[in-house]
Structure 1
Amino acid sequence: MKKKTIKMSLSVLAVAVLSACSSQSEPGATVKGIDIWPTIQSEVAKDPDIERQVAALLSKMTLEQKVAQMIQPEIRDITVDDMRRYGFGSYLNGGGAFPGNNKHASVKEWVDLAEAMYQASVDDSLDGINIPTMWGTDAVHGHNNVIGATLFPHNIGLGAANNPELIEQIAQATAKEVMATGIDWVFAPTVATVRDDRWGRTYEGYSEDPEIVKAYAAAIVHGLQGHADEDFLGNDRVISTVKHFLGDGGTVKGDDQGNNIDAEQALFDIHAQGYVGGLTAGAQSVMASFNSWQGEKIHGHRYLLSDVLKNKMGFDGFVVGDWNGHGQIPGCQNDNCPQAVNAGLDVYMVPTDAWKPLLENTIAQVKAGVIPMARIDDAVSRILRVKFRAGLFDKPSPANRPHANNTQLIGHEAHRDIARQAVRESLVLLKNNQQLLPLAPNQRILIAGDAANNIGKQSGGWTITWQGTNNQNSDFPGGQSIYDGLARQIKQTGGEVELSENGQFDTKPDVAIVVFGEEPYAEGHGDRETLIYQHGNKRDLALLKSLRAQGIPVVSVFISGRPMWVNPELNASDAFVAAWLPGSQGEAVADVLLRNGKGEIQHDFSGRLSFSWPAHPSKPVNRGDKDYAPLLPYGFGLSYGEPSVLSNTLPEQVDTALSTSDVYEIFNGKTQQPWQMRLFSGQQNLAVSASSMALGGLSFRTIDKAIQEDAFRVDWQGPTAGVQFVSGNGFREDLARYQASAGVLSMTIKRGNAVADKAFVGMHCQSEGDKPGSCRSDVDITAELQGLAAQQWQTLTIDLQCFARQGVAFDQMVMPFELSASGNMSLSFSDISIQPAADTQASISCQE
């Protein structure tokens, strides 16, 4: 049968969405509750033969074997022997988890682990049964955990491309690269409809409007799993997951894992359309969301998980939880939560060592009647159904599958060609005064900005590591920075190019391309109070203004995971391109910005905003709002030859009350730019580049406080050692306004039972012409630590005047925080920041 195409125009899609919303009731009828939701006709119909196999296998299983199918631990927390003993139904690697805890693990090492786990799962010598396990991974913009994989633009850029056919190609390429590493299952697509861009996962959404989301959900599912009537879950395909059910893109103030208070009709109309598309296309798993709906956590929401998703919508695959999401249900812990399975959760995602007590507690709760046996049988039947559909009982083991260990598939040139097309189509031109773009390449061109030659920054979060941090260009073999592509084309046509991050140059250029934007972040850590770009620390704006003051035309290429309030930066730019997070193939940017050697346009801008561009940093704006007043509307995007519509004197001042956005964060779950976390012990110094490290008598590891890896712990044993945050770019930072505004250095800490012999907090600055650290100060905090209760999170603050009086120049800061100690001590940190207007309440005060 000829393959169906799913590319639709926006107008056709809008009709489809409206039809889905209105088809459940007669005109004039009042639709309430369950009647709002449609019955989905999945392309993947139930197969009587598979149903008989499921029933037969289920009848042979013990309770212990059934519950083990419902437990999904993480590779850092189980061994192959654990798999052999318990026979887990599945397992996962979280973001930043690798075979052998080795970031640079080879393809063979990925396959070897998959093979070992598979063989252990089918070994019936201990658990008495041989059901193949499944490995799930977050391949959300390519196989992003694997060194050398093709990294496609994040979803926000793909939404701007508005090309479902291209999206299917991306998903199919991703599936092949995943199959090369022996993995069966991908946690994608994300089908959140984002309504408040302050949400830290905005870039995981395709649009603020469900029209694109619905079409893309179907395209991604088809690309990952194949089509039901052609190549469904064949050797080139993996199991897909539509996530996160439901309403995660509509929480109050964009709070990650927060509360969605929409009415049920809006929940369906806006937030559920991706599930209509994805489930129709045959998605075999759905991931429950961390968020709540009207105050009730989704992981424990029986109405949405069971009544709506399974019973009314007819979903017959399985529901998997998110990272210990069941533990957030009131009355639950990570290792004990019957409420989740009773609500409709089929697979507990349970990283850390909580998996074993959770398994034991769940078994006991079934025996006690707390969890009905029928609910267990239903959950396990769903899991087995998907495994049979995926052919896991018939396919060779991971190491013997057709694509296993095919290193050529990782970053295959055909996949990179698809990524380059996606980059070109995702770029949105917001401003182009005097038709500055496209640029003739045979000029003298300056490339500036800290994102110009930084593949990690242009790729964003979920890139090798969970947060996308601690990566270098060498971690992206086969990838190119934006500078790489520009330089190659400029040099090929006889032009001259100079790379200068800070904008300084030897010879005055004809034009400057400045590439700048947000630092990488992932869920939780990316939440913001406002959308002001570089609020209170306008380094990039100063660079733009400096270049223009010298009479140099400026092209801004803005890297971001969301639209942001950048009025000052727009005013300081002659042309402005929203490049989003383009991924590993940054050279494609040059294909659009530069003419070819004959002076011809290579590729025009075709990207259009799938998110409205904000006119105010704190007021969400979405297509369809009653008072819709964006700076640039949904669907906006210039093509070459079209005149700019933006004023060159946009308002640069906004009325924002003093809030948490005025806090200068050094560490808030992740290290903030431009700082770099380092460990030191004696004369040794080591950059933190992994989740656990050691140096001398000092050890470091990330820990969980509120969410995954949002804190870290340092353990001291012996001589003076500690942790510090230093300038990552060698530049000094001007923090003088915090000193002038009665600021304090604040740290949220938890100490162990012992306190070091001596402990100091220091700050370092750099005077003109001197070495870093030439001006410094240290404040003794030993007594304050001794006064804190052990094993409790508490906040300790130090008046900035204490550092200033010892000679620290706050306008020349190179190290805003250092904690050194000697002796034995354990100290955990979840937040380190500088806060204004707080000196009178400081734990350590230096006021006269």
Structure 2
Amino acid sequence: MKLTQIQRTTRLKMPMKTTVITLGLFLGVSGCGDNQSAQQQTTEAAVTSEQTASTIWPALPPAIAKDEALEAKIDALVAKMTLEQKIAQMIQPEIRDITVEDMRKYGFGSYLNGGGAYPNNDKHATPADWVALAESFYQASVDDSIDGINIPTMWGTDAVHGHNNVIGATLFPHNIGLGAANNPKLIEKIAAITAQEVMVTGIDWVFAPTVAVVRDDRWGRTYEGYSEDPRIVKEYAYAIVEGLQGSVSGDFLSDQHVISTVKHFIGDGGTENGIDQGENLASEQDLYDIHAQGYVGGLNAGAQSVMASFNSWHGEKNHGNQYLLTDVLKDRLGFDGFVVGDWNGHGQVAGCTNESCAKSVNAGLDIFMVPTDAWKPLYENTIAQVKSGEISQARIDDAVSRILRVKFRAGLFDKPSPANRPLSGKTELIGQASHREVAREAVRQSLVLLKNNQSILPLKPNMKVLVAGDAADNIGKQSGGWSITWQGTDNKNSDFPGATSIYSGIEQVVTQGGGKTTLSANGDFKPEQQPDVAIVVFGEEPYAEGNGDIDNLEYQRGDKRDLALLKKLKAQGIPVVSVFISGRPMWVNAEFNQSDAFVAAWLPGTEGQGIADVLFTKADGTVAYDFVGKLSFSWPATPQQTQVNVPLAQDKRVQAQADYQPLIPYGYGLTYQSVATDAISLDALSEDNLAASQTLEDLALFERAVKSPWAMYIATDNEQQALTSSVASNSALNIRTMDRAVQEDARLVSFNGTEQGTVGLISSFPRDLRAYSNSDSALSLSIKVEQSVSKPLWLGLACQGDCRQQVDIAKLVNTKLAEWQNVSISLACFAGEPMDFGKIAMPFYLSTDAKVDISFSDVVIKATANDNTIQCH
């Protein structure tokens, strides 16, 4: 799910001053309201959709049989509700954007906390603080003194590897590690523990599990996927839904369980180039065979909510895709719960904004997830759209019936208030020892042994052990994203009370075994402390969602500090055991070459001692715990081998098998019983990243239209706005579309000269453009300047954080006035501190405080451009 914060800001230093760009505004919104009536869909189209769905999508029997008495109760309640009350059930605001009085007045059907949102905006809020907030919102929702109805609200939270927003909670390995364990029973146990810890804080509903089947490991959410194999995902989805909700034939949604959400429907793991929220171009058969299997598993277990995905399928955003949300999910797959949106995902639908989107409701969205203050205009606009007939009353009644059905099944009308439920406030359950032991077991089972030369592992605990690497004593880094904060950053070890770092687990085992440990992140040690072995713990920094998108799989491209550490230790004759922390398989050939043993530890969470359990023997030299993990993702042979996926069982094509040539195949993993012939040689691997032999393609940013994932914006030093129409203005400039070669393929910007004005392109997440910066690429555009520019005209790029580089092109463009010219500037001109091409938030902007009219079109990053107007070296 979600962008974590309401502001979701990236600070981009613009010319003259720093401009704060609120990324939540730039999520691809465009156009104006969809005026098509809900009744205008043709019978022919409906029949065609039904016929197509029936050939691919199975008709699943409902996991829960229809209860006529319950349906009558729902119908009676819906009949009593006003339109305003119904729409309120469909609005889900965020805790930072509403007050208790708002809840009392409107009676929202649900609310959420985004990743990194806490009661009282306090990261260290106690479980009691969480319960108090839940209780106050609940009591306001059932207070009918203003809104005239007492339907209980429900609180949804991202609990994706434990109750990860709460200080002291048990954090389990992320999904990629759990997939390597391939143990559905363990997954069910983990989910049940998560449900308990969530219920301690008075929360009813979790946004899990993610059932994405990842096809391109550059995707920043790869670690949220269990496997590239849909069979594992299907089995796990069933297990985790049953663990969270209970069995439909037993303790379903009892006072020990929460409502689950299978997400994100559908195809989020299959976007082109691994770009988050991007375009999935899978065939419909592959959409079912690969990307739908987690939903088959989850719905068969009785999942009560499904979250719509940000991604598009063949050009149409899923939040507005009636065929997928209604014809497929609700009609063919028999889903009778509710569909909830993702973080303002409806605003990305063509013709919609965050404040208005009839198309999503008509498509089958039942609950708008609408953080920020957009909830109020969305509420008002949706009411108006029903009154005008743009949304049918029947569609609203269906959505509200689905929401009420889940609330009745969950017992929300009968349960005590959040503060008085059986598990509420039982703080001893948050991170309790038995929960941590299950997490520790999950860590042990998730580890995959990829290399073990001369059977260096297991180690005896009576050795002198050097523990090196910046992840060795860093609980935040080993836990990854979605850990207290949304990105998993800005955390200290003290933010994880009760947790164990990897180093502290090793220290405990070695000390008890009579050995000695030395912790040194940089690998330094005194001569008298010469170690018998070095355990080096290193890997990716935490990230979440699109912030983790990269353009190839080379580890630490351009900054090989961890490789240098490994080489330093090897040069001293010290055996090296590498423990690699990552959210995906990565190209680490050089690191493999410098390691005697190599363990893929993924993102193990708070119980780091689980790693020491497996690396070391018992005191008597016998194996304590063997490796059992197997790769659930294929390991790449090159940085560019980003889509290496094991052929599906039903795929018997010779070509599919022949094309599958990873460095290490799916399902691989050594044990302590493995012999030399079992192992793939990971010595003397090629360290040529093949970058020079890869053909980069031109990257169009604005060519006839703005290209995904970019959006156009205008800004001054004090304000900024997304462009949602063909004409816009601020205090520094006016901008409008214009025709150059075809309709609206260019923009005309009139700067008024009173202050600095800026026009440019921005993405909701930073993008990795290092492949272009490392080549002879250039930023190219066509531009026409009507008057001589008397002040600097800055052409620039900006990266996440306070960084930008820009070039003054005023003299250049002044040479040809009132005619189009091509300007091409080498990306090398934008290099240097503090520019980071790995996190480009704005790949293009023009900025000036001169009075001038400028037209531009065809903004492209040229992969090779030897005829640059401005060349830098």
- TM-score, length-scaled by structure 1: 0.77
Structure 1 equivalent of residue 843 of structure 2: none
Query: Structure 1: which amino acid aligns with 2:130?
Result: W
Output the amino acid matched with 2:71. E
Question: Residue 43 of structure 1: CA displacement?
Answer: 3.0
Residue pairs, 1:233-312, within 5 angstroms: 233-312=253-332
Residue 751 of structure 1 corresponds to which residue in structure 2?
none
Structure-2 change in CA distance of 1:809 and 1:471 (3 Å): closer
Residues 229, 359 of structure 1: alpha-carbon distance in 2 compared, 3 angstrom cutoff:
same
Deviation at 1:647, TM superposition (A): 3.6
Counterpart secondary structure, 1:237 = coil
Once residues 155 and 433 of structure 2 are traced to their aligned partners in structure 1, the CA distance between those partners, rounded to angstroms, is 26
Whether the 8 Å CA contact 2:462–2:513 is kept in 1: the answer is yes
* Cα offset, 1:580, TM superposition: 0.3
**Structure 2: distance between partners of 1:483 and 1:660:** 44
Matches within 5 A, 1:290-369: 290-369=310-389
d(CA) in 2 for partners of 1:561, 1:739: 25
The letter of the residue matching 1:622 is N
Q: Does structure 1 residue 98 correspond to structure 2 residue 121?
A: no
Q: Deviations over 1:738-788 (max 9, x none)?
A: 9999999xxxxxxxxxxxxxx9x9xxxxxxxxxxxxxxx99999999xx9x
Structure 1 residues 366-765: aligned runs within 5 Å: 366-506=386-526, 507-619=529-641, 620-624=643-647, 625-626=656-657, 627-642=659-674, 643=676, 644-656=679-691, 657=694
Aligned to 2:208: 188
Give the one of 192, 200, 210 matched to 1:172.
192
Q: Distance in 2 between matches of 1:101 and 1:268?
A: 41
Give per-residue Cα distances to partners, 1:40-90, cap 9 Å, x unaligned: 223322222211111111010000000010000111111111111100000
Distance 1:641 1:394, change over 3 A: same
2:147 to 127, 131, 141: 127
Verify the 8 A CA contact 2:592 2:682 in the aligned structure 1: no
Deviation at 1:654, TM superposition (A): 2.5
Contact 2:778/2:824, CA 8 A, preserved across alignment: no
- Give the equivalent residue in structure 1 for 2:39: none
Name the counterpart of 1:78: 98
**Which of structure 1's runs of 4+ aligned residues deviate more than 4 A?**
657-662, 705-711, 737-744, 777-784, 795-804, 835-843
Deviations 1:195-222 (A, max 9, x none): 1111110000000011110110010000
- Post-superposition CA distance 1:140-181 (Å, at most 9, x none): 000000000000000000000000000000000000000000
In structure 1, the partner of 2:729 is none
- How many angstroms apart in 2 are the aligned matches of 1:548 and 1:163? 36
1: CA distance, partners of 2:191 / 2:562:
35
**Whole-Å separation in 2 of the counterparts to 1:50 and 1:606:** 46
Alignment deviations for residues 553-604 of structure 1 (CA, whole Å, 9 cap, x no partner): 0000000001111111101100000000000001110000011111111100
Match of 1:721 in 2: none
Deviations 1:707-734 (A, max 9, x none): 76879xxxxxxxxxxxxxxxxxxxxxxx
Residue 251 (structure 1) shift: 1.1
Q: Deviations over 1:278-327 (max 9, x none)?
A: 00000000000011111111111101100011011110000000001111
Partners of 2:667 and 2:660 in 1: how far apart?
Answer: 14
Q: Is the 8 A contact 1:297 1:328 kept in 2?
A: yes
Provide, for residues 480-526 of structure 1, a one-character-per-residue CA deviation record: whole Å limited to 9, x for no partner: 11001001111111101100101111122111000000000000111
Question: Are 1:59 and 2:112 an aligned pair?
Answer: no
Alignment CA distance shift 1:413-1:707 (3 Å): farther
- Give how far 1:272 is off: 0.5
What is the RMSD computed on CA atoms of the aligned residues? Answer: 3.4
3-state SS of 1:525 partner: helix
- Name the CA distance, whole Å, in 1 between partners of 2:510 and 2:867: 57
Cα distance change on mapping 1:799 and 1:468 into 2, 3 Å: same
Q: Which stretch shows the higher mean deviation, 614-623 or 98-107?
A: 614-623
Does structure 1 retain, via aligned residues, the 8 Å contact 2:346–2:360?
yes
Q: Quick check: 2:563–2:590 contact (8 Å CA) kept in 1? A: yes
Distance in 1 (alpha carbons) for counterparts of 2:388 and 2:411: 35
CA distance in 2, matches of 1:778, 1:221: 45
Conserved 8 A contact 2:338-2:402:
yes
Evaluate the alpha carbon distance shift between residue 161 and residue 742 of structure 1 in structure 2; reply closer, same or farther with a 3 A threshold. closer
After superposition, the C-alpha distances for 1:509-555 in whole angstroms (9 at most, x for unaligned) are 11100000000000011111100101121111111011001100000
Tell me, in whole angstroms, the C-alpha distance in 2 between the residues paired with 1:494 and 1:354: 61
Separation of aligned partners in 1, 2:188 and 2:131: 25
Alpha carbons of structure 1 residues 463 and 779: separation in structure 2 relative to 1, 3 Å? closer
Query: In structure 1, what is the Cα distance between the partners aligned to 2:501 and 2:552?
Result: 29
AA aligned to 2:668 is: F
Aligned to 1:231: 251
TM-score (norm 2): 0.75
**Partner SS for 1:579:** strand
Contact 2:209 2:263 in 1 (8 A): yes
Q: SS at the partner of 1:494?
A: coil
Say if 1:796 and 1:56 are closer, same or farther in 2 by CA, change over 3 A: farther
* Contact in 1 for aligned 2:115/2:165 (Cα 8 Å): yes
Task: Give the C-alpha shift of residue 617 in structure 1.
Answer: 1.8
TM superposition shift of 1:33: 3.9
CA distance in 2: counterparts of 1:35 and 1:482, whole angstroms: 51
CA distance in 1, matches of 2:834, 2:64: 66
The one-letter code of the counterpart of 1:510 is D
Return the alpha-carbon distance in structure 1 between the equivalents of residues 105 and 764 of structure 2.
27
Partner residue, 2:29: none
Q: How many residues align?
A: 691
Kept after mapping to 2: 8 A contact 1:531/1:564: yes
Amino acid in the other structure paired with 2:673: G
Identity of aligned residues (%): 65
Q: State the secondary structure of the residue aligned to 1:431.
A: strand
Distance 1:45 1:103 in 2: 42
SS of the residue corresponding to residue 524 of structure 1 reads: helix
Asked if structure 2 preserves the Cα contact closer than 8 Å seen for 1:535 and 1:661, the reply is no
Note closer, same or farther for the CA distance 1:608–1:799 as it changes in structure 2 (3 Å cut): closer
Instruction: Give distance in 2, aligned partners of 1:739 and 1:169.
Output: 47
Counting only pairs closer than 5 Å after superposition, residues 44-55 of structure 1 correspond to structure 2 as 44-55=64-75
Q: Is the 8 A contact 1:225 1:240 kept in 2?
A: yes
Residues 279 and 706 of structure 1, relative CA distance in 2, 3 Å threshold: farther
* Alpha carbons 2:664, 2:680 under 8 Å: kept: no
Separation in 1, partners of 2:253, 2:53: 35
Contact 2:473 2:501 in 1 (8 A): yes
1:113 correspondence with 2:145: no
Q: One-letter code of the match for 2:326?
A: S
